[in-house]
A and B are shown apart, each in its own frame.
Chain A
């Protein structure tokens, strides 16, 4: 008798066989079918039904052969660090990390809108509700998620991928409205925990992107600007939903810190927090803080656009505006090889898209189109252990370039990438694999972002009016 997993795989094989006959057909693959099957499989086989607490959380890694939790810690995808994976070191990887599922949760909500099937959104809501209601540290109110922590669905307790239990954001959390709607008190507690236990010095805003989860112990150390922006992106929602002044103070403190830090010893300015989270925060807080945030973001633009231009191999393509000074020239990022703390060229395009959506600045549109051009006819280099995320961002770049220019070449390229990505990552399985060189499912490499990109292709192909979330949060 076949297990449910085997049946599911068999169904997917039939689907693949059915579409294989149309491989030459430009409509292949049916991106919605691929994403929906992925979501259905996660709902059926990828939720926490283990241990004493069956939380319903989505597992962040699975055995694709058995559609069940891994009994081992599988070979890591290229560029993934040991301590960042959703599981305890050297043993079975059984973590659930909503930060790594963030785009999957957004995909679920979008699927409900597109298909009319409410259970996708319900699954996402259940994840948020349970996670916020059950996993906050009793001491720090921080959550076991992000770069190093996750929730072990077998042991029913927070775990770290490394030696120490350190709280650190993996990417910005853009689901705060939903979290406050579903779990208002824990959401507020987390936002407060971030101020009280992540920020070491409430006068200077000194912090380290690492803070102990189990006990108070923030230090003033590696205050990476992007993390400062993630905190601001949290506190603005907390203020919006609670109107508590403490969150304004927290924002102001971090903003002031980086207003000081952006000025170098020689008077030159450097980009720090980035404009995205600040611009968003400005829509939720009162003046004069809102104006300060907007002004800061505007100045970041000038600095960042110059740097982005200097990254492009063909800088002449952007000659209508001044190219970057020589000192700002930076190496062109790789097109396909992702790694810890190193994104691809398309990830820059996603930043441009996000900022263009906020401000409509033509420079960002032009940069994105230039990057889309770089990806035309490109494929991952030989022996690169490419991630789903690399394809996700390349696809979303081409879709956005098509939207900006209405040129078919970009949509054609997006479809080519989608076709390639489905063939390479899904293969004969309802779940995508973690990378070219691995065979298991693990969302740290951006399976969720790829699913979101496939929905974009589906939406533009079928002229859907549903709003697909921007694939811009992998930063």
Chain B
């Protein structure tokens, strides 16, 4: 190209003189719903009961009264009675931080978004009080997770029985915050996990159930995903304390699962003695191994990464049938890699099962850390399967499932820049808001926190499922709220605030 002549140059200067047309700011009504939820919980959903007013967030509430439940409402579909936050047949009056984990993560984000400390303060108060006041005197394990919670009325762990079992509900991503808030209690828990969850410290044998009140570690159902939860815990504990015990613990467990991998198929048994492999469980282990690698020294870090990379190649190489059946392979024969179970359902969440979106979000966790295009293909195929799909009318769908579907669409949008995914995320969010906050006013109003001293906000809390009417976080109200915030940030292109990855329901 040639330089313009002076005459043409002057002409070119005159060719434009005004700014380009403006496009209106897109509407994002979702944040108001989330603020009302968080504000209602902060005002009405914390433990102000019994002699010890712990400030813990209750994991179940009466939505109409915004008060603790006095009964035990019917459980959402797919939820086992023993996993709920109440004693057997008793009212649901427990606080279980593992059920509320995404809510706690969300509270930090809301403080960043709003500039108001109260959300972060509530989260930090919960972490501190829970770690410092609830650990078992004998084992130092905590009354949380799959089966335990803290009774806010009686001020004691929900289960007083000897066979009270400690089991993780999902990975705990808040260890760094915990070590900030309560370093010694956090260290003691991490140590307890080694001493009282692991039955054999040579072989790493364990059962995902361990005695809470007294030492009762057994060699049994050593689910891979639980190994990942422990490894993540110990990695942060090592980073914070530099105690060699935690490296040893990781090494032992990693070695156990390295040796479990089938030499031909690369698959790992679902638990000791089984001939099948549960893919979601080992993929979850891979996520935690890779995450843990950041906090430990070499050569262990490289071993953890290599384990995760091997899992990537196994998982991405499987014949997932997302296009025609809308689901991931769930189970395979370990020695032949022959599929041995149904594919993941889109909407049917239940204990021990994974939906398609839930599994896809594990792919998101891997993809957004390793960039492997095999995962991208799985993510977009999974997102595609939700473009036209809605739950069957009779299904008792959980908020978590909508949360996963929304976050999956957003991940596909990030990865491809195809607007169909962002649009679908909005549609699913609209439907979720209407379904779980059915009495709420249309969420088209403001995006800021509710005004102080307002009257009790009606229907601020989401219901536990489409066929229940109480609030109970075991079905993932927190995950849905996190997805709504994630969607809001995507719609308005906000990056100054960090939204936690919605990938921990695994």
Contacts and interface: CB of A to CB of B under 8 A. Distances in A.
Interface of A: 56, 63, 65, 70-82, 88-91, 125-126, 129-130, 133-134, 136-139, 152, 155-160, 165, 182-183, 185-186, 214, 339-340, 377, 379-383, 385, 423-425, 427-428, 436-440
B501 interface: yes
Given A76-B493, A129-B1, A383-B501, A436 B368 contact: yes
Contact of B1 (A81, A130, A155): A130
B473 to A, nearest CB: 23
B371 interface: yes
B13 interface: yes
B455 interface: no
A77 B373 CA distance: 18
A186 B8 CA distance: 12
B429 to A, nearest CB: 16
Nearest to A421: B371
5 contacts: A75-B490, A423-B371, A428-B373, A438-B417, A439-B414
Contacts, number: 123
A417 B500 CA distance: 26
Contacts of A186: 9
Contacts of B370: 424
Contacts of A158: 16, 19-20
Contacts of B373: 427-428
Given A383-B501, A439-B414, A90 B19 contact: no
B115 interface: no
Summarize A's interface: helix, strand, loop or mixed.
loop
A78 B414 contact: no
Contacts of B22: 88-89
B390 to A, nearest CB: 25
Interface in B476-506: 490, 492-496, 498, 500-501
A383 B369 contact: yes
A82 B376 CA distance: 25
B264 interface: no
B294 A437 contact: no
Interface string B75-112: 00000000000000000000000000000000000000
The 10 closest A-B pairs by CB, nearest first: A74-B417, A138-B13, A424-B371, A439-B415, A90-B23, A157-B16, A91-B23, A75-B414, A126-B1, A440-B417
Interface in B142-162: none
B371 A381 contact: no
A82 B495 CA distance: 8
A444 B476 CA distance: 37
B369 A63 contact: no
B140 to A, nearest CB: 26
Interface centre among B6, B22, B376 (most CB of A within 10 A): B22
Contacts of B18: 214
A73 B4 contact: no
Given A157-B20, A382-B369, A436-B368, A138 B417 contact: no
B70 interface: no
Interface in B364-407: 365, 368-371, 373, 376
A439 B368 contact: no
Contacts of A126: 1
A437 B368 contact: yes
Contact of A81 (B19, B368, B422, B496): B496
A90 B26 contact: yes
B290 interface: yes
B457 interface: no
A304 B121 CA distance: 37
B301 interface: yes
A101 B9 CA distance: 24
Nearest to A85: B493
A56 B20 contact: no
A63 B376 CA distance: 16
Contacts of A139: 17
B14 interface: yes
A80 B417 contact: no
Given A70-B417, A77-B495, A133-B9, A382 B20 contact: no
Given A437-B414, A439-B415, 7 more contacts: A65-B416, A89-B25, A136-B13, A158-B16, A214-B19, A382-B291, A428-B373
Contacts of B415: 438-439
A426 to B, nearest CB: 9
A146 B431 CA distance: 42
Contacts of B19: 158-160, 165, 214
A177 to B, nearest CB: 16
A158 B12 CA distance: 12
B294 A382 contact: yes
B369 A436 contact: yes
Nearest to B419: A72
Nearest to B20: A159
Contacts of B494: 82
